[in-house]
Amino acid sequence: MKIGLILTNDWELFGDGTGDFFDLQFHPLINLMELLDKYNANITIMAETGQQLAFLKSTNEQHQLCATSWESVLKKVIASGSDVQLHYHPQWYNVKFTQDKWNLNLGNWKLSSLDSHAMVIKLKEAKDYLEKVIKEEKHDYKCRVFRAGSYCIQPAGEPINALKKIGILADSSVTKDYKNDGFFDYTNAASNLIPYRTSKEFIEKKGEDGLIEFPIYSENIYHSEAIKKYSKESYYSWFHKINVPHDEILWQLEKEKTKDEKYPRSQRYYKKNEGKSLKWYFSKIIQKSAIQLDYDNLPATIFVNMLKNIIKSNKDDDRIIPVVASGHLKDIHNLKNIEKILNLIKTEIEEDIIYWTFDTALNYWEKKV
């Protein structure tokens, strides 16, 4: 078997609309594309299009510059052979820019917060705009894959119906065993790896009438957020059975510090439902939950070891198996971690890996599910 590794990036500002576009999105993406080119790798950019539409409608000169730059850099992504697909946060619906900041509708965090009519209209507007921009570079481009903002596609009946209405064929919002109370729960998802056809009402269940789901790969293990916070070396050694090199630990610590400075935890709406009860604190000592394949979060050695686990477990499968990995350029301070991942893949498992985009994966799997 071979892995069709689908590197994806949710390309966006922070969830409350803060952050500098050029610092968090534009320059990091240009640097990332240069790095990927060195390794003959590609990526699928999940472009937050609700944000872009808000910038386009603004009369602010800086916003217009950001909007123009947004379009130009995504055209370069397509020209390089990589892919662009649709990402949408409904909190950008009908936003206003006042007192030098975006005032997002944070109560619209979940896609289902929009009524069915507004959902179809806004998703179609975003998809049509994205296709218009990318077709200026690639005339036969089609936007066919979606990822919900913050993975919040549940309850999924209306979103699935809306996405199908506008011509979306596939989704990649699900990570098996991953949950965030009040936002989503994918504990019972049909797969952590192999794509499946969803039902028309439940994104996590198999069916015949829904979308093709490309789950973000995960492993469900016992681990400890408490130990990870105070000793990352011990955490990875005890729970992942790997001694992570010190440079990777330092990169993680620097990343967390930088993100906390740019996006303080008090601003993170998705953490508001974390109950700080005694039970909650005990759950952080040891718990069983999903570890998502995330190249901007996992140390490079752990990331590549997860790929090795897939190769070992599926060695008799004669298909190319798509493995979806996630990342967020807004969350990192440099590209050292993904550069090390690309280098480890090249030196240790290159013969087992091909780099896929969602477009390639959908062409291969559309008739298999």
Sole residue written with tokens 């198996």:
321
Mean per-residue pLDDT of the chain: 95
Looking at residue 287, what is its pLDDT? 87
Task: Tell me what pLDDT residue 282 has.
Answer: 67
What pairing do the DSSP bridges indicate for beta strands 145-148 and 101-103?
unpaired
pLDDT of 274 > 60? The answer is no
pLDDT of residue 281: 62
What is the crossing angle of helices 61-79 and 27-38, to 10°?
Answer: 10
Q: What is the pLDDT of residues 156-180, one digit of tens each?
A: 999 999 999 999 999 999 999 999 9
Residue 289 has pLDDT above 60, yes or no: yes
Cα–Cα distances in angstroms (integers) from residue 252 to residues 33, 219, 329, 331, in the given order: 22, 20, 14, 11
Q: HEC string of 31-62? A: HHHHHHHHCCCCCEEEEEHHHHHHHHHCCCHH
User: CA-CA distance, 369 to 195, in Å (whole number)?
Assistant: 7
- The answer to whether the bond into 155 is cis (omega within 30° of 0) is yes
Q: Which CATH class is domain 2-219+292-365?
A: alpha beta
Phi-psi region of 356 (alpha: psi -120 to 50; beta: other; left: phi over 0): beta
Asked if residue 100 has pLDDT above 70, the reply is yes
The per-residue pLDDT for 132 is 98
Q: In sequence order, what DSSP letters do the residues of 227-275 get, joined into one string?
A: HHHH-HHHHHHHHS-----HHHHHHHHHHHHHHHHHS-GGG-GGGTT--
**Quick one: average pLDDT of 341-359?**
98
Pairing of strands 184-185, 179-180: antiparallel
The strand pair at 179-180 and 101-103 is best described as: unpaired
Position 166 scores a pLDDT of 98
Helix, strand, coil % over all residues of the chain, rounded to 5 = 45, 20, 35
Lowest mean per-residue pLDDT among 17-21, 176-180, 278-282, 288-292: 278-282
pLDDT of residue 238 exceeding 90, the answer is: yes
* Residues in Cβ contact with 353 at an 8 Å cutoff, skipping those fewer than 6 apart: 2, 3, 5, 307, 345
What is the spatial distance between Cα 149 and Cα 49, in angstroms, rounded to a whole number? 10
Q: pLDDT class for 335, splitting at 50, 70, 90?
A: very high
Query: 218 by DSSP, 3-state: which?
Result: strand
Q: Is the model's pLDDT at 275 over the cut of 60?
A: no
* Mean pLDDT, rounded, for 95-117: 94
pLDDT at res. 266: 86
Q: Pairing mode, if any, of strands 179-180 and 170-171?
A: unpaired
Instruction: Decide the pairing of beta strands 83-88 and 145-148.
Output: parallel
Q: How confident is the model at residue 106 (pLDDT cuts 50, 70, 90)?
A: very high
Question: What average pLDDT does the segment 140-164 reach?
Answer: 98
Domain-by-domain residue ranges, the chain?
2-219+292-365
3-state secondary structure of 88: strand
pLDDT in tens, 17-31: 999 999 999 999 999
Amino acid 265: pLDDT: 86
